[in-house]
Structure 1
């Protein structure tokens, strides 16, 4: 649809409702292959697989978690299909025309941090391959700059620059890249698994790894309880669901290009419960086989490929996982801040400029490598506030507005979504209340039990959503025409 006389402070061509809708089920499917099939995604999947304790437990915990992810993504995805608008514009319906900048910037901050972390992971896979050469190993060990080896800096800048090339022509280039990268990663994953299973001479689901070794290897996965226990299985499902917290908000950045909800549902069905379950299974089997072969629990695929005798296989694995990590960076950490920054200053910033800002921030962060320090806790703290945002937006869209939003009004300063000077006070209050329970109390106090943090995102969704609903009931006339 076209927007008539939009306010310049709320509109540009990239933020406008999608007119070309050519993302079929295969492209939607590959949003998820690009998002999950990365070095970080493999690490989490392998860790959670090993924590399940058995194949049946794995199917139950990861299967239920993946079904919940499918339902949640369908909620925000359907809103994107119906309205055709990106996340920061959809947020105007609940937070106000200018209040939407708050959740948009929260999402952008998290994305910029992980943009750098994922770029570093991808470049690290290339470095691990290159230092198999003695001359490059010596260069890696002897030359340093910006707090890293010179080889690491060179690889980081190259990977960083390659990502900029992907988005030069906008979202259509993103679609074409992920449609190629998604299947390529799956092929490499299967080859890696088959190679190690043949070399191990056995096919196992983790039963041959001693429990004390499992506990040591998975201690950083954020899951409490002994592997296979009810507490561990519940935490596994919750952690898997929470891993997608950022995309619950901005999946509509992609779904708005789907022609209809049937296409979206088909792509989500294959890309989420089916693909996620299969991916976790392959990651777990590969890690188990690697333990049999090398005598170590190697949760990172680049660490596995670095041990290959064949330089060709090691190169193929390193390059594939680097491409996979670029895929998640483009999908989860480039597209979102590009739209988010454009939403704040639409007259000055379009999609490309917003993406350049995110990339520049990641480049500036690299010498400090905050993803390798305690700063990750700060980002997790910020990220957990995305729970209340999701709860507020979904309550507003489905329970209060019954799925009906005046898209035209989203682009007018003095329309329905002006609220109080462009800010919906109800949403802001609910956001703060939800953030207290999802982020502030679990992070800075001991008032809540230790396990609360594992489910913090869920409490944020529930508290934020219910608080918003109650405030709307008490202040029903907060919207100004």
Structure 2
């Protein structure tokens, strides 16, 4: 789509509707392999697997959760295919041409935090490998820089720089990286699973792990009910769905490059319900086999690889985990922040420039490592605000506009989406009310039951989207 005289305050080549659409089903599938197959993803998948209590419960909880993820991602993905625009531009239709910067910056804040956290996780996998050497272990324990071991800082810089090399040539380089990394990670994960299952001599689903040990090991997953109970299964499904809250917003950053909706549907089908179930199964079986071999619940894969007798397997595992985590960082954090920051000043900040801003912020955060402190609660609070944003954008696109959107007007300051001087008050009223129920009340008060926080994102979607629909129902579109 060719735009005529777009406003410089709303346009640059990176934010323009996608013209070169080469992403087939395989590339869309690998968006999900890159997004899920990380150290954080493995930890969550293994934890939720063990909390299911049986294979049938696992299929029900993770299966239903994965189907919901598939439906939601296809909804936002189709919007990207049809319009060809990235998330911050799509948000202009509901929040206003300039008001869209607010949801974009919310997403960017979350992306910067997790960009640093994922980079640190990948660096940790390399450190776990390197300290098998007595000399490097001593160096790790005695030399410190910026509040961390010097070895950790060096590994952080290596991973940090590798991500910049991948992204510097734009989204086509991201696609090529994904198409290679996704299958490679799957192959290595299967090798590790087979190795541990063969060594343990058992293929089980965690039933042999004492419940008190299991609950203690999985406490950080946020599921407080007894493993296998209905409440636990509901929380497992909800947690799994909420894990993807950030990508519900910006999946159109990728789907806009898809060849058509059929390719998107096929890629999502294999990449989400099929891939997610298989990934959780492999992560869970590997963890239970590791318990049989080492006598510990090792939910972090680098903990498992550090115990391998085989140096070759240890190297293979560490590099794979680093590549996998690097992949999710590029997909879930770098790309989103790049478009989000670019949207604030399109004439001055390009896609690359926005990505570099995110990378520099994550590097600046490293000395304090807020992802290792209580600051995570702050980011979870900010992240929960993404529920109302998603609800508002989807209600606007599907219920208010019936999937009909004047894309050219998204780039005009005085067009349809100007609303009140570029800000849409009704969207922000709905956003504020949605935040009260998704973030503010469950985080800062005890007015709501303890379980509410597990479903905060859902309440945000329902309340934010519902209020927006009520406010806009009588408007002519």
Verify: 1:413 aligned to 2:413, yes or no.
yes
Match of 1:192 in 2: 192
* Residue 289 (structure 1) shift: 0.1
Cα distance in 1 for residues equivalent to 2:65 and 2:197: 27
1:445-478 deviation per Cα after TM superposition (whole angstroms, max 9, x unaligned): 000000000000000000000000111136x27x
Cα distance in 2 for residues equivalent to 1:224 and 1:3: 52
* Residue 101 (structure 1) shift: 0.2
Corresponding residue SS for 1:257:
coil
Cα distance in 2 for residues equivalent to 1:238 and 1:124: 29
1:1-53 deviation per Cα after TM superposition (whole angstroms, max 9, x unaligned): 11110000000000000000000000000000000000000000000000000
Match of 2:235 in 1: 235
Task: Tell me, yes or no, if the aligned pair for 2:400 and 2:473 is still in contact at 8 Å.
Answer: no
Which ranges in structure 2 are unaligned for 5 or more consecutive residues?
Answer: none
The 5 Å alignment of 1:423-442 reads 423-442=423-442
Cα distance in 1 for residues equivalent to 2:212 and 2:135: 39
The 5 Å alignment of 1:106-145 reads 106-145=106-145
Cα distance in 2 for residues equivalent to 1:144 and 1:56: 48
Match of 1:215 in 2: 215
Verify: 1:175 aligned to 2:163, yes or no.
no
* Residue 224 (structure 1) shift: 2.1
Cα distance in 1 for residues equivalent to 2:292 and 2:259: 47
Cα distance in 1 for residues equivalent to 2:27 and 2:54: 33
* Residue 440 (structure 1) shift: 0.3
Cα distance in 1 for residues equivalent to 2:76 and 2:415: 23
Cα distance in 2 for residues equivalent to 1:219 and 1:351: 39
Match of 1:351 in 2: 351
Cα distance in 2 for residues equivalent to 1:281 and 1:159: 28
Match of 2:99 in 1: 99
TM-score normalised by length of structure 1: 0.99
Cα distance in 1 for residues equivalent to 2:394 and 2:18: 21
Match of 1:374 in 2: 374
Cα distance in 2 for residues equivalent to 1:286 and 1:109: 34
Cα distance in 2 for residues equivalent to 1:96 and 1:102: 10
TM-score normalised by length of structure 2: 0.99
1:228-260 deviation per Cα after TM superposition (whole angstroms, max 9, x unaligned): 000000000000000000000000000000011
Match of 1:23 in 2: 23
Cα distance in 2 for residues equivalent to 1:2 and 1:282: 46
1:172-196 deviation per Cα after TM superposition (whole angstroms, max 9, x unaligned): 0000001111001101110110000
Verify: 1:53 aligned to 2:38, yes or no.
no
* Residue 103 (structure 1) shift: 0.2
Cα distance in 2 for residues equivalent to 1:118 and 1:21: 29
Cα distance in 1 for residues equivalent to 2:317 and 2:70: 29
Match of 2:254 in 1: 254
Cα distance in 1 for residues equivalent to 2:390 and 2:163: 28
Cα distance in 1 for residues equivalent to 2:427 and 2:444: 24
Match of 1:10 in 2: 10
Corresponding residue SS for 1:317:
helix
* Residue 312 (structure 1) shift: 1.1
Cα distance in 1 for residues equivalent to 2:239 and 2:211: 20
Cα distance in 1 for residues equivalent to 2:213 and 2:136: 33
Cα distance in 2 for residues equivalent to 1:167 and 1:53: 41
Cα distance in 1 for residues equivalent to 2:10 and 2:223: 42
Cα distance in 2 for residues equivalent to 1:329 and 1:471: 37
1:135-179 deviation per Cα after TM superposition (whole angstroms, max 9, x unaligned): 001100110010000000001011100000001100000000011
1:40-84 deviation per Cα after TM superposition (whole angstroms, max 9, x unaligned): 000000000000000000000000000000000000000000000
Cα distance in 2 for residues equivalent to 1:312 and 1:55: 32
Match of 2:68 in 1: 68
Cα distance in 2 for residues equivalent to 1:140 and 1:212: 34
Cα distance in 1 for residues equivalent to 2:271 and 2:63: 13
Match of 1:333 in 2: 333
Match of 2:201 in 1: 201
1:342-364 deviation per Cα after TM superposition (whole angstroms, max 9, x unaligned): 00000100000000000000000
Match of 2:397 in 1: 397
Verify: 1:294 aligned to 2:294, yes or no.
yes
Match of 1:386 in 2: 386
